[in-house]
A = this chain, B = another copy of it.
């Protein structure tokens, strides 16, 4: 009677476990987090986690699937909202950049899965990326994009540049002079320069704009 022994609600329990596990795994890495710790922090017994997810490995997979699903939904929305005009790339960069800024945990997940060589993750993203490639190819046919860029590599570069920034942002700030403090619009400075370098190189040159 000390504890009401939890409300009997499998779904809520699983969600609680997943959210706690997600926070811990993403922060410290799968190996550095114990099942005991997850149990403690989510207010659930260790056995119960095993009851719902069997093994630590499977819990980790469940966390990854959950996060990638959320990411995929968002990414798909970005592709769908791409304007057809010349501002397409600028818009896309900004939307993706802001999404990642508000969900830095997705970058850490990305990074952990890259390091562990998770083969699953790549396949999950494939149809997503091919949607983007189709969009970009379309834009090329309309003359909105240089014909000599590879759409998939363009996505790699756009996504990669953004991801690595949010992964190592704090590290980069240490590179600057410690005197005078950091500008707190560091993100905006980066985005502006990224956009400038990227877009100016990506936009069709003058002799091919009017096709």
> Closest residue of chain B to A202, judged by CB?
B197
Q: Are A115 and B126 in contact (CB under 8 A)?
A: no
Q: Are B114 and A171 in contact (CB under 8 A)?
A: yes
Q: Are A201 and B190 in contact (CB under 8 A)?
A: no
Contacts of A157 in B (CB 8 A): 161, 193-194, 197
Report how far A197 CA is from B150 CA in the complex, Å. Answer: 11
Q: Are A122 and B193 in contact (CB under 8 A)?
A: no
CB distance from A126 to the nearest CB of B (A): 5
A112 at the interface (CB under 8 A from B): yes
> Closest residue of chain B to A113, judged by CB?
B171
Contact of A174 among B111, B122, B153, B163 (CB under 8 A): B122
Q: Are B121 and A171 in contact (CB under 8 A)?
A: yes
Report how far A102 CA is from B197 CA in the complex, Å. Answer: 27
Q: Are A115 and B108 in contact (CB under 8 A)?
A: yes
Residue-wise interface mask of A (148-189) relative to B, using a CB-CB cutoff of 8 A (1 in contact, 0 not):
111011101100110111011011111110000000000001
A198 at the interface (CB under 8 A from B): yes
Contacts of A198 in B (CB 8 A): 197, 201
25 contacts between A and B (CB under 8 A): A29-B29, A29-B115, A31-B32, A111-B114, A111-B167, A112-B115, A113-B171, A115-B167, A122-B171, A122-B172, A122-B173, A123-B174, A125-B171, A126-B174, A150-B189, A150-B193, A153-B193, A156-B165, A156-B172, A157-B193, A160-B161, A163-B164, A199-B201, A200-B201, A201-B201
Binding site for B on A (CB under 8 A): 29, 31-32, 108, 110-115, 117, 119, 121-123, 125-126, 129-130, 148-150, 152-154, 156-157, 160-161, 163-165, 167-168, 170-176, 189-190, 193-194, 196-202
Nearest first, the 9 A-B pairs at minimum CB distance are: A122-B174, A197-B201, A201-B201, A31-B31, A200-B201, A160-B164, A164-B164, A129-B175, A31-B32
Q: A31-B31, A157-B194, A157-B197 are in contact. List 11 more A-B contacts (CB 8 A).
A: A31-B32, A114-B167, A115-B167, A121-B171, A122-B170, A122-B174, A148-B196, A154-B193, A160-B161, A197-B201, A198-B201
